[in-house]
Amino acid sequence: MANTDPMTQRVELATVRDRLAVDGLVTEYAVAVDDGDWETYRALFTPDGRADYRSAGGIEGSARTVAGWLAESLGPYPVRQHLMVNRRVRFGVWEQDRGDTARVRADYVNPMCRTGAGGEPAEPEFVCGGRCVFAMLRTDDGWRLSGVVVRETWRRPTGRRTAPVVH
């Protein structure tokens, strides 16, 4: 039987909207990295937001600093695709938090390759995977990333020479 209490229905609807919003933020993050849209990447973060790519041979720092590093590091690999799966969403504890924080854990698989003759994608030079942990904060502009930690757990070359992997 459906709950007909208006207050409970509003809380349930707000929770569904928040879940969709934080899930969408993870997707926007992956698309920004894959498309090399560093302006959007930076805009996804809170002003003091940070990212940590050290497990993948990268750096840890402010979103602005990391976006610059990603732009340089990913430049040779214009073809990349982060597949974000197994997303687990947890919101802040209601008694201690007004519901304005969230944590999302998502596994990823990421093939990366250069372009071949004529600009066509070449065979991926490597495929890597692992887990991203996203810390999120509700702001006046909607949900934003306050932190991202990339935990690369594996990588597999595809037979060609590989370079340091970054996400």
Residue 123 within any structural domain of the chain: yes
pTM (2 decimals)? 0.85
Range of the domain at 43: 6-157
Where does the pLDDT of residue 158 fall: very low under 50, low under 70, confident under 90, or very high at 90 and above? confident
Predicted confidence (pLDDT) per residue in 121-151, tens digit: 677 788 999 999 999 999 999 999 999 999 9
Distance in Å from the first CA to the final CA of the chain: 46
Look at residues 93, 100, 98 and name the one whose alpha carbon lies nearest to residue 144.
100
**Which residues 6+ apart lie within 8 Å of 43 measured at CB?**
none
Predicted confidence (pLDDT) per residue in 41-95, tens digit: 999 999 999 999 999 999 999 999 999 999 999 988 888 999 999 999 999 865 5
> Which residues lie across from 143 on neighbouring strands?
138
- The domain tally of the chain equals 1
Residue 147 within any structural domain of the chain: yes
Are 112 and 77 within 8 A, CB to CB?
A: yes
Q: How many Cβ atoms from other residues are within 10 Å of residue 75's Cβ?
A: 9
In this structure, the dihedral spanned by the alpha carbons of residues 15, 107, 51 and 72, taken in order and rounded to 10 degrees, is -130
Residue 1 within any structural domain of the chain: no
The distance of Cα 74 from the centroid of its chain, to the nearest Å, equals: 15
Residue 79 within any structural domain of the chain: yes
Look at residues 142, 129, 118 and name the one whose alpha carbon lies nearest to residue 56.
129
Q: Who has greater pLDDT, 164 or 89?
A: 89
Residue 162 within any structural domain of the chain: no
Residue 20 within any structural domain of the chain: yes
Residue 93 within any structural domain of the chain: yes
Provide the pLDDT for residue 115: 78
Look at residues 70, 93, 65 and name the one whose alpha carbon lies nearest to residue 80.
70
Residue 82 within any structural domain of the chain: yes
The CATH number of the domain where 14 resides is what?
3.10.450.50
Secondary element (H or E) of residue 28: helix 6-35
Residue 162 has pLDDT above 50, yes or no: no
